[in-house]
Amino acid sequence: MKKLYPPVLLFNLILFSFNVYPQLSGDFITNTNFYVKDTSIGANTSQYKHEFSSSEAWLFLNYEIAGFKFNVRYDLFNNSPLLDPNEVYTKQGLAFYSVRKKIENLDITAGYFYDQFGTGIIFRAFEDRILGLDYAINGVRLAYEFSDKFRIKAFTGRQKNRFDVHPQVLKGVNIEKDFYLGDNLQFYSGAGLINRTLDQATINQLANEINSYKLEDRFVPKYNLFAFTFYNNMVYKGFSWYIEYARKSAEAIRSLSGDKFEFKEGQVLYSTLNYSRKGFGLSLQHKRSEGFSMRVSPFTSFLVGTINYMPPMSKQHAKVLPARYSISAQEAGEIASQAELTFSPSKKSTFMLNFSYVSNNSNKRLFREAYFEYYRKFSKSLNSTIGIQSVYYDKLTYENKLEDPVQTITPFTEIVYKIDKKKSMRTELQYLFTHQDHGDFLFALAEFNIAPNYSFSVSDMINTKPKKLDEVKHYYSFAAFYSLNQTRFGLAFVKQVEGVVCTGGVCRVEPAFSGFKFSVSTSF
Amino acid sequence: MNKFSFGSLLFLSLLGLLACEEEGPYINFNPEITDTSLIDTTYISDMSVTPQQRSVLIEDFTGVRCPNCPNASIKLHEIDSAYNGRLVAVAIHMFDNNFAYPHVLTIDYRTTEGTSIFTLLGSGNLPVGGINRKKYPSETNILVRTDKWLTYFVDNLSETPYCNITLTSRKDSIDTNAYIIKVMIQYTSNVLATNYITLGIKESGMISPQTLPNGTVDSQYIHKNVLRKILTNAGGTLLFENPEENRVILKEYKIKLQNDWNAENCKIFCFVHRNDTEYTVIQADEIKL
- Span B147-203, pLDDT tens digits: 999 999 999 999 999 999 999 999 998 888 899 999 999 999 999 888 999 999 999
Cβ distance B22 to A224 less than 8 Å, yes or no, reads yes
* Series of mean pLDDT values for 10-residue runs along chain B (289 residues): 59 60 81 72 92 96 94 95 94 91 88 88 88 90 93 94 95 90 95 91 95 93 95 87 93 92 95 87 95
Distances (CA, A) of B40 to A75, A192, A210, A370, B273: 49, 51, 20, 57, 19
- Cα–Cα separations (whole angstroms), residue A244 to A155, A231, A234, A285, B269: 21, 4, 12, 12, 56
CA–CA separation, A311 vs A194, rounded Å?
18
**Can you tell me the distance from the alpha carbon of A267 to that of A290, in angstroms, rounded to the nearest whole number?**
5
Q: Is A373 exposed, middle or buried (0-12, 13-18, 19+ CB in 10 A)?
A: buried
Contact A192, A117 (CB under 8 A): yes
Q: Which of A152, A193, A212 sits opposite B17 (nearest CB)?
A: A193
pLDDT at site B237: 86
The runs of H, that is alpha helices, within A149-277 are 200-211
> Kind of pairing, strands B178-187 and B163-171?
antiparallel
State the DSSP code for B53: P
Q: Coil, helix or strand for A404? A: coil
- Radius of gyration for chain B, computed over Cα atoms and rounded to the nearest angstrom: 21
Q: A–B: how many Cβ contacts below 8 A?
A: 74
Q: What is the 3-state secondary structure (H, E, C) of B247-277?
A: EEEEEEEEEECCCCCCHHHEEEEEEEECCCC
Residues comprising chain A, all counted: 524
| pLDDT given at position A5 | 60
Sequence-distant (6+) residues with CB within 8 A of B138 are none
Domains in chain A: boundaries: 108-311
**Best mutation target, A204, A215, A224, A249, to test chain B (most B CBs within 10 A):** A204
| B237: chain A residues, CB-CB within 8 Å | 208, 211-212
Nearest chain A Cα distance for residue B24, angstroms: 6
For an interface test with A, which of B5, B13, B34, B230 has the most A Cβ atoms less than 10 Å from its Cβ? B13
Nearest residue in B to A192, CA atom: B10
Q: Which residues of B touch A222 (CB under 8 A)?
A: 22, 24
The one-letter amino acid at B66: C
In a mutagenesis test of the B interface, which of A105, A117, A208, A247 is the best target, namely the one with the most B β-carbons within 10 Å?
Answer: A208
Element (H, E) at B69: helix B69-82
B256 CA: distance to closest CA in chain A (Å): 21
Per-residue burial over A11-23, b if 16 or more Cβ lie within 10 Å, else e, is eeeeeeeeeeeee
Cis previous bond, A405, omega within 30:
no
The whole-angstrom distance between B276's CA and the closest CA on chain A is 5
- CB distance B31–A147 less than 8 Å? no
| Per-residue confidence (pLDDT) for residue A12, from 0 to 100 | 64
Closest Cα in chain A to B236: A208
Helix (H, G, I), strand (E, B) or coil at A148: coil
Residues 209-248 of chain A with CB under 8 A from chain B are 210-212, 215, 218-224, 226, 228
Choose among A335, A333, A353, A334: nearest CA to A343: A353
Nearest chain B residue to A196, by CA: B17
| Residues A205, B9: C-beta atoms closer than 8 Å | no
Nearest to B276 among A193, A205, A212 (CB): A205
Report yes or no: B257 and B266 within 8 Å, Cβ to Cβ: yes
Please check whether residue A208 touches B, CB under 8 A: yes
The Cα–Cα gap between B192 and B247 comes to 13
Pick from A173, A204, A226: CB nearest B25 = A204
- At A1 the pLDDT is 41
Q: Does A23 touch chain B (CB under 8 A)?
A: no
Contact B17 A171 (CB under 8 A): yes
CA distance A284 to A240: 11
pLDDT tens string, chain A, 524 residues long: the values are: 445 566 666 666 666 655 567 899 999 999 999 999 888 888 888 899 889 999 999 999 999 998 899 999 999 999 999 998 888 999 999 999 999 999 999 999 999 999 999 999 999 999 998 888 999 999 999 999 999 999 999 999 999 999 999 999 999 999 999 999 988 999 999 999 999 999 987 887 788 778 777 788 899 999 999 999 999 999 999 899 999 999 999 999 988 777 689 999 999 999 999 999 999 999 999 999 999 999 999 988 888 999 999 988 899 898 999 999 999 888 889 999 999 999 999 999 999 999 999 999 999 999 999 999 999 999 999 999 999 999 999 998 888 888 899 999 999 999 999 999 999 999 999 999 999 999 999 999 999 999 899 999 999 999 999 988 888 989 999 999 999 999 999 999 999 888 777 777 677 777 889 999 999 999 99
Identify all chain A residues contacting B18, using CB atoms and an 8 Å cutoff.
Answer: 226
Which of these, A196, A215, A223, lies nearest to A294 by C-alpha position? A196
Reference A229, options A311, A327, A158; nearest CA is A311
Q: Which is nearest to B201 in space by CA: B225, B223, B222, B184?
A: B225
Instruction: Yes or no: say if A275 and A239 are a contact pair by the CB < 8 Å rule.
Output: yes
Closest chain A CA to residue B232: A211
According to DSSP, residue A392 is labeled E
Is A208 within 8 Å of B27 when comparing Cβ atoms? Answer: no
Task: Report chain A residues whose CB lies below 8 A from the CB of B25.
Answer: 203-204, 206-207, 220-221
A501 C-beta neighbours (distance < 10 Å), count: 16
Distance CA A500, CA A326 (A): 7
Chain A residues closer than 8 Å to B13 by CB: 154, 173, 175, 193
Q: Is A6 exposed, middle or buried (0-12, 13-18, 19+ CB in 10 A)?
A: exposed
Shortest alpha-carbon distance between residue A65 and chain B (Å): 29
Mutation choice for B interface testing from A211, A214, A297 by most B CBs within 10 A: A211
Q: Does A210 sit within 8 Å of B6, measured CB to CB? A: no
The CB-based long-range contact list for B174-181 (8 Å cut-off, 24+ gap) reads: B175/B256, B177/B256, B177/B257, B178/B254, B178/B255, B178/B256, B178/B257, B179/B254, B179/B255, B179/B257, B179/B263, B179/B289, B180/B38, B180/B252, B180/B253, B180/B254, B181/B231, B181/B252, B181/B253, B181/B254, B181/B255, B181/B268
B22–A223 CB contact, under 8 Å: yes
Angle at which helix B149-157 crosses helix B69-82, to 10 degrees, equals 30
Model pTM score = 0.76
Q: What is the signed CA dihedral for B101, B104, B109, B110, rounded to 10 degrees? A: 30
Query: CA–CA separation, A247 vs B205, rounded Å?
Result: 55
Residues of B in contact with A212 (CB under 8 A): 237-238
Nearest chain B residue (CA) to A198:
B24
Q: In this complex, do B27 and A193 lie within 8 Å of one another by their Cβ atoms? A: no
| Own/partner long-range contacts of A187-190 (Cβ < 8 Å, ≥24 apart) | A187/A232, A187/A233, A187/A234, A187/A235, A188/A232, A188/A233, A188/A234, A188/A235, A189/A230, A189/A231, A189/A232, A189/A233, A189/B6, A190/A117, A190/A118, A190/A229, A190/A230, A190/A231, A190/A232
Helix (H) or strand (E) holding A73: strand A68-80
A195 to chain B: nearest residue by CA? B17
> In degrees, to the nearest 5, what angle opens at C-alpha A294 toward C-alphas A291 and A296?
140
Select from A336, A393, A396, A403 the least CA-distant residue to A366.
Answer: A393
Q: Is the dihedral of CA A122, B25, B143, B185 positive or negative?
A: positive
Nearest to A172 by CA among A189, A197, A147, A203: A197
